[in-house]
Amino acid sequence: MAGNLDPIFAALGDPVRRAVVDLLHNGPRPAGDLASAFGLSPPAMSRQLRVLRRTGLVEEERADRDDARLRVYRLRREPFVAMRNWLEDIESFWTEQLAAFKQHAERPRPNRGRKPK
């Protein structure tokens, strides 16, 4: 499963793209607003959004059918669900490992002839 997540984690490895995701978490935003929020030129923001679109993290829609330049971006739920599921699997593994370690550490030990201090 992690192989499918590699492009998503790579996309989120960039601080600007993570910040875009944070902004979009509050709701859809036009590309121009996103560019302004980061002080980026429209072409620079377009490159960042292209990476997020390719990985499926965001989707775009035309805000105005008469003006193809105006695009609004929103988060897609599916990739975040996949990441959460993967992280829950990892967390489950560590929970089991720690429980087994605790059980091992708390089991009574034979004295083996040692004198108490």
C-alpha separations of 32 from 8, 20, 35, 40, 54 in Å:
23, 12, 5, 9, 19
Contact in structure between 33 and 24 (CB atoms under 8 Å): no
Which has more pLDDT, 6 or 64? 6
Which has more pLDDT, 110 or 21? 21
Residue 1's pLDDT is: 47
Least confident segment among 40-49, 60-69, 81-90: 60-69
The per-residue pLDDT of the chain, averaged, comes to 86
Residue 59's pLDDT is: 97
Cα 94-97-98 angle, rounded to 5 deg: 85
pLDDT tens figures, 65-96: 666 678 999 999 999 999 999 989 888 766 67
Domain ranges of the chain: 2-76
DSSP state of 70: E
Domain 2-76 has CATH 3.40.47.40: no
Residue 92's pLDDT is: 77
61 φ, ψ (degrees, to nearest 5): -140, 150
